[in-house]
Amino acid sequence: MGSKYREECESNIYHVTFRGVAKQIVFETDDDRRFFGKRMRQYLDELDLQLYAWCFMSNHVHQVIRGDIREIGRYMKKLLVSYAHCFNDRHDRVGHLSQNRFDSVPIKSDEQLMAVVRYVHRNPESIPGQSYETYQWSSYREYLGNPFISETEFVWSLFNGREDFVKFHKDWVPDDQPAFSRRNPPDDLVAAKFACELLGIASAISIASLPKSERDTQLATLKKTGLTVSQLARITGVGRNIIQRAK
């Protein structure tokens, strides 16, 4: 089987994700997370890549990386092979740890970069009772404290200081305040643009090709904004039944 085609962009910035095979957990302990973070830092330095944001969830990882997509491919291969060996040794398992190689979405504008950084940082809200502001395993606290892995200066330059950065994260559409009224829905072009800005993706139609768990998470997020199932089906190309079940 040939290598997966990866879209390139002039910015050289990509939202990179990898998931555990069959949705299995990829971090059993904090020591696992620390080892993964150390390897990230090591290989980022070796390949001269810049990491703008990251988040470790139980069965997947988000990274926003700047660099040539081929170098990012080398980085991810080294990182995932090294981590899988460590994880398997520690937890007495064998076989692949990650689902496929990794996914990458090109970031084509400053607005999209801001949105995807916020999306990555607020991922922990899917954990019951967890706040993104206090979550230990993301770069959000690096931005408000001392950067350890992330290079924060470029993203900081897109905001008017700390207060603006914090407000931008807080102002993401609350679950109990839909952005749109079902009585007065936006047209499809406005809805598609809104979806891209909210989720930090290049196009609404790209949601259909995401791994199932990430696809359903993004669809559930969009449903909470007041966009109808019918409109989401039109702008994403995902079937109505799938959208209705997404949560």
The domain of 195 spans: 188-245
Do residue 86 and residue 161 come from a single domain? yes
- Model pLDDT for residues 213-226, shown as the tens digit of each residue: 888 888 988 888 88
Last residue of a domain, one of 134, 168, 202: 168
Q: Are residue 69 and residue 17 in the same domain, yes or no?
A: yes
Q: Do 14 and 104 touch, CB atoms closer than 8 A?
A: yes
Same domain, 29 and 142: yes
Answer yes or no: do 201 and 144 share one domain.
no
Is residue 19 located within the same domain as residue 140?
A: yes
* Residue entry with tokens 């969009």: 222
Rounded distance between C-alpha atoms, residue 165 and residue 127, angstroms: 23
Predicted confidence (pLDDT) per residue in 125-150, tens digit:
878 788 999 999 999 999 998 888 99
Report if residue 180 sits inside a domain. no
80-to-29, 60, 72, 85, 121 alpha-carbon distances in Å: 17, 12, 12, 9, 22
pLDDT tens column, 149-189:
999 999 999 999 999 999 999 887 654 445 565 656 778 88
Same domain, yes or no: 159 and 240: no
- CA–CA gap between residue 62 and residue 156 (Å, rounded): 19
- Sheet with 13-20: list strands edge to edge: 50-56, 60-66, 13-20, 98-106
Q: What angle do CA 142, 118, 31 make, to 5 degrees?
A: 45
Listing DSSP states for 18-49 in one string gives EEEGGG--S-SSHHHHHHHHHHHHHHHHHTT-
Give the confidence band of 209 by pLDDT, cuts at 50, 70, 90. Answer: confident
